[in-house]
Amino acid sequence: MKNGKNLFNKKDNSKFYLIAFVVLFLALVARIVFVGTTNDAKVKTGDVAGAIAEKTVTAPVELSFSDVLRRANDIKTMEIDKDDIATGVLKDGTPYRATITYNPELLEKISANGASVSINRNDSAWDMIGKGLPIAVSVLFLFWLLRLLRGGSGGGAGGITRSLIGQNPTKITTGKTKTTFKDVAGIDSEKQELMEVVEFLKNKDKFKSLGARVPRGVLLAGEPGTGKTLLARAVAGEANVPFFATSGSDFSGIIVGLGVAKIKEIFDLAKRNAPCILFIDEIDAIGQSRSKHSFNDNDREQTLNQLLIEMDGFANDTGIIVIAATNRPDMLDAALLRPGRFDRQINIELPNLEGRRDILELHAKKFKIDDKVSMMDVARGTTGFSGADLENLLNESALHAVRAEHKSVEQSDIEEARDKILMGPKKNRKMRPEDIKLTAYHEAGHAFVALHYDGIVDPIHKATIIPRGRALGMVQHLPIDDKVSMTIEEVRATLSVDLAGRASEEVFFGKNKITTGAESDIAMATRIARRSITTAGLSDKIGMVAVNQANTFGQRIALENASEKTAEAVDGEIKNWLDNAYKDAKNLIVKNKTKVEKLAKALLEKETLSGEEIRAIISDKKASKKPSKKSNAKK
């Protein structure tokens, strides 16, 4: 579809017939309701006018046929319609209504007593309409249905589909896009993979001369927010070709065969605009693996089969590049991933440190950022963020800057936005003084042990006792670079840091005063120890054996690839690692009790301490007035 033109060349008046059918149907319903109510309220009498003037109108009296025979002398007027319904008034002015059997002798008897008798067996206008409307509605509906079955490309199913879902078979984004590779940052290797597709769309004769075949389809797999849709749009923008975007869920519906018709129509649309990019987001909605147990979902399988046929086809040179995106490539059917369909798979990972900095600098062009802000420092503190997360971080920072009435987005705004995203908004909790004090000593223990292992674990960025989300406080680290693995020395140091908060509580308040505040710390330490022992082979006792923990349908079962004896050994080794880490942290705090207490008192006073302030307190030096992050901003 270009410039808003109709998707189909043939003129289709099916909407007109559908509207006419609905109007006639509503008229039929209105006639039934109206006639029923008017017949119930209708009083045929000449004396009623006087009764209305005197405001003494009463409901008609229901008379049986035997009552009419018995009270023939009391009847003043009678009018009989085609349904043998008699209405009128009695001589005392009372209106009546009765169902009688047509009997000329009875009518002569009533008339002989001076009553006015009239018979009207002609159909009224409403009666004529009531008889004709059902026939007209039925004929019109059949004519509309036959027209749909007969009209348009794609056969009967295609015609019905177009009527039910409108002129577009799916929610398609069409036209040429202005997005190019300059608008994509942090995924340079992935962009390089797609440059061949761009070159083919620009100059396919160059590839044909050597007999090369460009991938028919490209599958982009990665976590949400990593830029799959943006990358597909950039390919179309670089090649300057039309871009058609839809999603897998658009091909499913309650009507059997609807998905097949939609697949046909969207590929017909793409063929008429070739060369082009056809992008299908969340393709796992229709591309899930087929099995002998999936017979209850035949419509989805038919839709998948049609997609396979369209992608393979009989023509080897259609000029259509299909790009699909999914978060679950493991769910896709093997037939989709074979050469000739999605024969190139690109895994888009979360950006690394340099990639995060490039993404931040790209998005920062839309915001007014203070010159003192270091994007490298922001990138270091956003490990695990996707491109969408980083854009959201800057947007939240700008919103905070507006609330704080800053002229530009400052480093403090970004810090607040990051803490809000990671930990949740600040909580105005009414905490007991003893809880606040215990939280300060807890976080001081984390900070001191982390500083003791400085150079092994990530450097401390800040410590705070301001509650956020479910956390009453936290110590935040700022990685120098992205770690892809950990040495056993780093693992043991990390475990000591994680358990240092609980150790500090016991040292300063006693074993009976420890709290549940270390719950998340213990869970984190347990996960690290278990992974190191069961999968990384870092335990001498267990050895280099992969002992994976199985979790089926939410039910915890025994360790797989392990006997009960090995499972017990694993549990014992995990406990041994954690006990040793706790003893190590406790000994460090006991030997440096004065410094930890000094750090806790500073937290109680200021609530938040920067990494440099923590180092200055422990080393008995004054913190520098110029934070190191300002010097980094000049890089």
* Catalytic residue IDs: 443
DSSP 181: G
| Cis previous bond, 215, omega within 30 | no
Other C-beta atoms closer than 10 Å to the C-beta of 191 total 19
319 SS3 class:
coil
Q: Check if the beta carbon of residue 436 is closer than 8 Å to that of residue 607.
A: no
Q: Which of 403, 400, 426 minimizes the C-alpha distance to 414?
A: 400
d(CA 376, CA 381): 9
Other C-beta atoms closer than 10 Å to the C-beta of 633 total 16
d(CA 347, CA 350): 10
CA 163 to chain centre: 28
Q: Which of 286, 203, 201, 282 minimizes the C-alpha distance to 245?
A: 282
Buried residues in 445-461 as b, exposed as e (16+ CB within 10 A): bbbbbbbbbeebbbebb
Q: Check if the beta carbon of residue 239 is closer than 8 Å to that of residue 198.
A: yes
**Residue 546 CA: distances (Å) to CA of 149, 372, 491, 530:** 61, 48, 18, 11
Q: Which of 504, 447, 477 minimizes the C-alpha distance to 618?
A: 447
Other C-beta atoms closer than 10 Å to the C-beta of 470 total 10
Q: Are strands 344-348 and 217-222 parallel, antiparallel or unpaired?
A: parallel
d(CA 546, CA 167): 56
d(CA 48, CA 18): 46
Q: Are strands 217-222 and 243-247 parallel, antiparallel or unpaired?
A: unpaired
d(CA 360, CA 392): 10
Amino acid found at 536: A
d(CA 456, CA 19): 74
d(CA 248, CA 217): 15
d(CA 230, CA 181): 9
